[in-house]
């Protein structure tokens, strides 16, 4: 699609240079533009910051008619309309909170053959709930002036995505109702499962999928051992902010509102300028915090994942995860807010075993999500596999084995101190502890299991052998490893107040009983 000459090629080039003031396309932008200009239904999959908007903004200008842009976030649409107007591109926005006159003007322009407006931005609920809008749109279509639909964040159609929005389901009628109007979906979610689902919901099976690589060569990925006390976590964050990221701006993601408030106030007590951001705050306070961070009054925002879509700061130099994300997909999206300017930025995760169970007991009820969480755990506990390689595998990509350029801690530290340890004797001990607990009708959490294994817990649960000759933190990694490899499984129990994750023997543990059983685990570096 990119190398071919089309009747619009010259126009496309001129528009890129003269209207958007850009010299060249980024990977896959031209393919997407040519595909949609040729009238194909297409879905563009590119990481955040790769330049998806150009894929519909530019085509809108080279053909007659109106492009309808559907997007879930009003603030993002406002930004886009503003920047289009700055380039003298006539664009308009219509949301459910638009003033009456604006809504009227937007409705009229759909009927107006002489309108200059090229792009009309609407929220999905506007489309779904306004009969007048739909009938005017049909009029526009009948007059041959409906050029295309661009559906931003198109993964919101799918319940499998991380961001399902019920109003997006309604968009399924577009392809039937407006024959011959190409649909261009755009998303940063690359899971094939979600993409197939989106095609089904939009009724565009077999549409062209244009995907650019998800490799972000300028991001450095690192895991730090997370201390058990909040106080020690604060000390680590303080050091990072005061020395490593001095004069730089970034995000600290936490898993709960409580954590984000505690860490923000702890860091402030240490003299750092940080803001706090979560869903329980008033919208007005949230945008104040966002703005202060954007303008560098705050070095960092300590936030839950509510701080997400709509961050368009290009020079985020670090994204620190105080708790692991619930999947690699989520981790990629969250950490990917770093380094959008292409300069080096760091993605650091504080990992410890206990957090697995914090998250698993929160998310276990949705089908299949434990697998997603365990993918994240694998990424954290690897001792000798490049972290970027694990991310690439998640996106079914191969970034080439030498391509990390030492941009992850595993490659940078060149596997120093990693060795394989044999797990069979540990596996047997753990298996016997679980049997023993079972006989006494006791359920063990991962912590209790560790205690028993290291002869620290209640006497009645201790095994007859010696305490293992390894640091306890390695014991934690072994349990996490056995869990993600199905030697152990989680068993959830509910109380009125919480869900508790207990550890049971998994389907694979029987192998551990065989005499020729060998299971090696790469040991990560402990600092
Ligand atoms: P996305 O929607 O994929 O997150 P945007 O469309 O917001 O990304 O684009 C991110 C940034 O990249 C914007 O500042 C945009 O101007 C810039 N950009 C897009 N395409 C190009 C290009 N071909 N050359 C240079 N900069 C570009
Ligand atoms: Zn690497």
371: pLDDT strictly greater than 90: no
Bridge partners (DSSP) of residue 187 are 45
SS (H, E, C) 138-170: HHHHHCCCEEEEEECCHHHHCCCCCCCCHHHHH
Phi-psi region of 33 (alpha: psi -120 to 50; beta: other; left: phi over 0): alpha
Asked if residues 154 and 185 have their Cβ atoms less than 8 Å apart, the reply is yes
What does the H/E/C string look like for 89-100? Answer: CCEEEECCCCCH
How many angstroms does the Cα of residue 92 sit away from the middle of ligand 1? 20
Using pLDDT thresholds of 50, 70 and 90, give the confidence band for residue 148: very high
Residue to probe by mutation, ligand 1, list 15, 54, 86, most atoms within 8 Å of CB: 54
Nearest to 386 by CA among 358, 418, 351, 344: 418
pLDDT at residue number 402: 62
Nearest to 270 by CA among 241, 311, 302, 313: 241
The tokens describing 400, both together, are: 């080439």
Q: Report the residue among 13, 46, 51 best suited for mutation to probe ligand 1: largest number of ligand atoms under 8 A from its CB.
A: 51
The number of CA neighbours under 13 Å toward the Cβ of 218 is: 16
Output phi, psi for 350, to 5 deg.
-90, 115
* pLDDT above 90 for 20: yes
Asked if 226 and 352 count as a contact pair (C-beta separation under 8 A), the reply is yes
pLDDT at 369: 78
What pLDDT, in 10s, does the model give residues 66-122? 999 999 888 889 989 999 999 999 999 998 888 889 899 999 999 999 999 999 999
Which ligand ends up closest to the CA of 412? 2
> Rounded to whole angstroms, how far apart are CA atoms 386 and 394?
13
Q: How far apart are CA 41 and CA 156, in angstroms?
A: 18
Q: Pocket residues for ligand 1 (CB within 6 Å)?
A: 22, 25-26, 29, 46, 48-54
pLDDT on residue 523: 67
- State the ligand closest to the CA atom of 406: 2
- Which of residues 183 and 414 earns the better pLDDT score? 183
Between the CA of 338 and the centroid of ligand 1 the distance, in Å, is 15
Contact (CB, 8 A) for 298 and 289: yes
Alpha carbons 20 and 146: distance in angstroms, whole number: 23
Report, as an integer, the average pLDDT of 396-413: 83
Give the number of the ligand closest to the Cα of residue 49.
1
| pLDDT of 339 higher than 60 | yes
Q: Please give the residue that has the higher pLDDT: either 416 or 230.
A: 230
427 has a pLDDT exceeding 60: yes
Q: How confident is the model at residue 464 (pLDDT cuts 50, 70, 90)?
A: confident
Q: Which residue has the higher pLDDT, 495 or 23?
A: 23
3-class SS at 109? helix
Residue 329: its pLDDT value, please? 87
pLDDT grade for 203, boundaries at 50, 70 and 90: very high
When pLDDT is averaged across residues 128-149 and rounded to a whole number, the result is 93
Closest ligand to Cα 32: 1
Q: What is the model's pLDDT at position 121?
A: 97
Q: Is residue 495's pLDDT more than 90?
A: no
Whole-number percent of the chain with pLDDT over 70: 94
Q: How confident is the model at residue 284 (pLDDT cuts 50, 70, 90)?
A: very high
Give, in order, the Cα–Cα distances in Å from 124 to each of 30, 70, 279, 290, 405. 27, 6, 22, 25, 42
State the distance from the centre of ligand 1 to the C-alpha of 156, rounded, in angstroms.
21
Centre of ligand 1 to C-alpha 258, Å, is 35
Nearest atom in ligand 1 to 22's CA: 24
Q: Cα(375)–Cα(475) distance, rounded to whole angstroms?
A: 19
> Among 24, 242, 66, 250, which residue's Cα sits nearest to residue 150?
66
Which helix (DSSP H) or strand (DSSP E) does residue 400 occupy? none
Whether 517 has a pLDDT exceeding 60, the answer reads: yes
**416 pLDDT higher than 60:** no
**Residue 197 above 60 pLDDT?**
yes
pTM of the entire predicted model: 0.80
CA atoms within 13 A on the CB side of 67: 30
What does the pLDDT look like over 291-318, one tens digit per residue?
999 999 999 999 999 998 778 788 999 9
List, in sequence order, every residue forming a beta bridge with 491; answer none if it has no partner.
502
Range ranked top by mean pLDDT from 244-248, 474-478, 480-484:
244-248
Q: Is residue 518 pLDDT above 80, yes or no?
A: no
Nearest atom in ligand 1 to 16's CA: 23
Cα distances (angstroms) measured from residue 98 to each of 81, 94, 437: 14, 6, 63
φ, ψ dihedrals at 434, nearest 5°: -65, -40
Two structure tokens written together for 468: 């293992």
Produce one character per residue of 406-416: b if its CB has 16 or more CB atoms within 10 Å, e if not.
ebbbbbeeeee
Compare 310 and 357 and report the one with higher pLDDT.
357
Confidence at residue 524, expressed as pLDDT on a 0 to 100 scale: 64
Q: Answer whether residue 401 shows pLDDT above 70.
A: no
Q: Which has more pLDDT, 379 or 163?
A: 379
């Amino acid at each position: 699609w990119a190398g071919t000459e089309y009747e619009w090629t010259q126009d496309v080039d001129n528009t890129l240079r003269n209207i958007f003031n850009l010299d060249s396309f980024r990977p896959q932008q031209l393919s997407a533009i040519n595909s949609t200009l040729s009238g194909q239904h297409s879905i563009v999959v590119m990481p955040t910051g790769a330049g998806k908007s150009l894929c519909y903004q530019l085509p809108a200008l080279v053909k007659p008619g109106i492009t309808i842009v559907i997007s879930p976030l009003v603030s993002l649409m406002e930004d886009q309309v503003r920047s289009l107007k700055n380039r003298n591109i006539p664009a308009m926005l219509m949301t459910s909170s638009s003033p009456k006159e604006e809504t009227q003007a937007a409705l009229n322009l759909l009927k107006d053959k002489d309108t200059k407006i090229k792009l009309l931005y609407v929220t999905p609920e506007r489309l779904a709930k306004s009969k007048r809008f739909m009938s005017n749109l049909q009029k526009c279509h009948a007059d041959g002036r409906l050029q295309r639909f661009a559906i931003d964040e198109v993964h919101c159609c799918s319940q499998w995505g991380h961001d399902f929005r019920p109003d997006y389901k309604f968009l399924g009628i577009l392809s039937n109702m407006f024959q011959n109007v190409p649909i261009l979906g755009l998303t940063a979610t690359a899971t094939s499962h979600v993409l197939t689902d989106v095609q089904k919901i939009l009724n565009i099976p077999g549409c062209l999928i244009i995907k650019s690589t998800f490799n972000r060569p300028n991001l450095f990925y690192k895991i730090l051992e997370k201390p058990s006390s909040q106080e020690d976590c604060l000390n680590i964050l303080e050091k990072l902010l005061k020395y490593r990221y001095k004069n730089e701006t970034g995000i600290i993601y936490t898993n709960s509102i409580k954590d984000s408030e505690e860490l923000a106030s702890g860091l402030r007590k240490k003299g750092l300028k940080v803001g706090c951001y979560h869903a329980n705050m008033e919208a007005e306070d949230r945008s104040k915090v966002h703005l202060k961070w954007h303008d560098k009054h705050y070095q960092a925002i300590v936030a839950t994942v509510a701080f997400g879509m709509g961050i368009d700061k290009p020079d985020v130099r670090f994204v620190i995860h105080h708790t692991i994300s619930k999947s690699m997909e989520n981790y990629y999206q969250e950490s990917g807010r770093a380094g959008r300017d292409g300069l080096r930025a760091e993605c650091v995760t504080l990992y410890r075993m206990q957090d697995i169970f914090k998250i698993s007991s929160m998310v276990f009820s949705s089908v299949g999500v434990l697998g997603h969480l365990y993918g994240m755990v694998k990424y954290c506990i690897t001792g000798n596999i490049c972290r970027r390689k694990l991310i690439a595998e998640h996106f079914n990509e191969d970034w080439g084995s030498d391509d990390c350029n030492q941009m992850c801690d595993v490659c940078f530290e060149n596997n120093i101190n990693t060795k394989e340890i044999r797990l069979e004797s540990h596996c047997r001990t753990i298996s016997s502890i679980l049997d023993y607990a079972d006989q006494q009708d006791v359920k063990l959490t991962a912590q209790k299991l560790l205690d028993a294994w290291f002869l620290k817990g209640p006497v009645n649960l201790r095994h007859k052998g010696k305490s293992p000759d390894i640091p306890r933190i390695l014991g934690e990694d072994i349990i996490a490893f056995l869990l993600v490899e199905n030697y152990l499984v989680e068993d959830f129990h509910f109380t009125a107040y919480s869900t508790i994750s207990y550890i049971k023997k998994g389907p694979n543990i029987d192998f551990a009983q065989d005499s020729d059983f060998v299971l090696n685990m790469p040991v990560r570096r402990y600092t």
